[in-house]
Structure 1
Amino acid sequence: MARVTSGLNPYTDAAVVLEGRDLSGQTAIVTGGATGIGIETVRALAGAGAQVTIAVRNREAGEKAAAEINAEQGASRVGVGLVDLSNLASVAAFVEAWGGKPLNMLINNAGVMACPQSYTADDLEMQVGTNHFGHYALGVGLAPALEKAAKAGKTARLVSLSSSGHRRSDVNWDDMNYRTRPYDKWEAYGQSKTANSLFALGFHRRFKDRGITANAVMPGGIMTPLQRHLPREEMIALGWMNAEGVVVDGFKTPAQGASTSVWAAVGDELEGVGGLYLENLAEAEPFVAGGRLGVMPHALNADHAERLWAISETTTGVTP
């Protein structure tokens, strides 16, 4: 098959992706939608007429973001739902509260990166527990809502935010939660981002025949609250900014970083297409050593996706 692309510049703002498109009557959920690329994703979708729920654990932050966007739009298109992705009971409560409403777009945007070693309410390593297992439970729990939208003849898509960080680690099948091996914050982040890509692959395989597609997205390098656990000195050492704290060329604005998520959620080129890893508003090409872009084979390994799905069912108790 030919590589799927949007034909847009990688530094296109999310709102531009939606120019001329009317999303009235469609619904979306964006996890972590109060800050960073999340709020820009919400802003773009609401600007095109969608009803968007910001799914966050901090109600005050969510309501502030919703009020800001609703004031900009002059319409009440954005609401707030509470969910703590590091707590599976909270995820279950969010799914129950959503009820029988149809859902067109679920954008699993929230995440934690390179945090100190810690564990979720369910005793899972914090990064894989939040970034993967929480979003797994949310996505599978809301699958009936997505299917209802698909049956109504409208787009039903799941978007799973991965990262170039997936190159740092495949899933460690023997010790995913760092019970016996030394904790490495970047390896743990990489494992969780690989899991995010594999989840999209597994989800698409199971639900494509019900009209629901799923793709993984690498949004690009963006300075957002995701870096909250990184001291400035470390970001300088990583080459993300210079000694004066100026971000290096190549990083995107939050509005540009949201564009691939928005394209994955609505792009005509992706209608009926899933199981892909997308970056820079296009299907990613294979990673080449020394390069800055591309996807590694372990993040699109179908056997790994099935193995992770089985572990996820057992770990969360959530099944389709």
Structure 2
Amino acid sequence: MSRIFISGSSMGLGLMAAERLVDQGHEVVLHARNADRADDARAALPKAESVVVGDLETIAGAKGVADAVNALGRFDAVIHNAAVGYRESHRITADGLPSVFAINTLSAYILTALIERPKRLVYLSSGMHRHADANLDDILWRTRRWNGSAAYAESKLHDAMLAFAIARRWPEVFSNALEPGWVPTKMGGPSAPDDINQAHLTQAWLAAGDDENADVTGAYFFHLKQMSANPQAHDPALQDRLVAICAEISGIALPA
């Protein structure tokens, strides 16, 4: 059985994946943004090993979450699930960053860089990433007019880029990305058309390591099947630029 940490798992798909993994006999540590959400998560999944509390919106908060995870010992897998959605306004964090970038892109990078290296890394992307451009020259939206949908799609492209960058740099780790579908969660909205009962299965499957078909790296999945990603996600030069940008903004280098 595996030991798995899931960011952004006090509700929604993160919690659903956690419930499935616990039911399969795995040890799962949840993550909540604040104490109230942590209490809700404990009530929803009392069999979880622990709940790490910390706000991934800030660089300091993401560092604190990584420190708390490391204090609990080594994990076999980390699922990078935490995100805000496509309806997010142009809100600037205490670090001077758009909240969509800070939470969806930068916190995933920080947790990847600082959490003791697991055997498996799983990054949640979105089907919206297919029509996005990485826009690394204006990743902080300083020259473009804000568009929440485009910012979200870009961030989900960045998550796939990060997954594939790790697959290149850390060949001993299975690092993959997936899209769960547009499902009726708090983020997706009540009118989302895809099947909520399928949305959490792939991330749990990739993280658990119980199926040799999941022993791949640098791949993109939808409903347990490999599929093509936005070509930019596979571009090593773009991947390296994204890593360098995140390292510069956060002050945290990605370990070799």
Equivalence for 2:43: 67
Equivalence for 1:277: 220
Counterpart residue identity of residue 16, structure 2: E
Runs of at least 5 residues in structure 1 that lack an aligned partner in the other structure: 1-22, 71-75, 147-155, 233-240, 242-246, 286-294
Runs of at least 5 residues in structure 2 that lack an aligned partner in the other structure: none
Q: Residue 113 in 1 paired to residue 76 in 2?
A: no
Counterpart secondary structure, 2:136: coil
Question: How far has the Cα of 1:60 moved from its partner?
Answer: 2.1
Counterpart secondary structure, 2:5: strand
Equivalence for 2:183: 222
- Conserved? CA contact 1:84–1:90, under 8 Å: yes
Q: Residue 302 in 1 paired to residue 239 in 2?
A: no
Residue deviations 1:141-178 (CA, integer Å, cap 9, x gap): 11x242xxxxxxxxx10100000111232111221111
Q: How does 1:211-250 map to 2 (within 5 A)?
A: 211-227=172-188, 241=191, 248=193
Q: Residue 35 in 1 paired to residue 5 in 2?
A: no
Measure the CA separation in 1 of the matches of 2:17 and 2:10: 10
Q: Evaluate the alpha carbon distance shift between residue 99 and residue 298 of structure 1 in structure 2; reply closer, same or farther with a 3 A threshold.
A: closer
Question: How far has the Cα of 1:307 moved from its partner?
Answer: 1.3
Measure the CA separation in 2 of the matches of 1:112 and 1:186: 11
Equivalence for 2:114: 141
Q: Residue 124 in 1 paired to residue 97 in 2?
A: yes
Count of aligned pairs between the two proteins: 250
> What percent identity do the matched residue pairs reach?
28
- Conserved? CA contact 1:171–1:191, under 8 Å: yes
RMSD: 1.7
Q: 1:85 aligns with which of 53, 56, 71?
A: 56
Counterpart secondary structure, 1:99: helix
Q: How does 1:87-102 map to 2 (within 5 A)?
A: 87-99=58-70, 101-102=73-74
- Conserved? CA contact 1:30–1:55, under 8 Å: yes
Question: How far has the Cα of 1:296 moved from its partner?
Answer: 2.1
Counterpart secondary structure, 1:122: coil
Equivalence for 1:311: 245
Measure the CA separation in 2 of the matches of 1:36 and 1:89: 25
Return the TM-score normalized by structure 2: 0.91
- Conserved? CA contact 1:50–1:77, under 8 Å: no
Return the TM-score normalized by structure 1: 0.74
Counterpart residue identity of residue 173, structure 1: L
- Conserved? CA contact 2:42–2:51, under 8 Å: yes
Q: Evaluate the alpha carbon distance shift between residue 145 and residue 275 of structure 1 in structure 2; reply closer, same or farther with a 3 A threshold.
A: closer
After the TM superposition, which of the residue ranges 92-101 and 34-43 deviates more from structure 2? Answer: 92-101
Counterpart residue identity of residue 245, structure 2: I
Counterpart secondary structure, 2:246: helix
- Conserved? CA contact 1:63–1:79, under 8 Å: no
Counterpart residue identity of residue 158, structure 2: A
Measure the CA separation in 1 of the matches of 2:123 and 2:39: 24
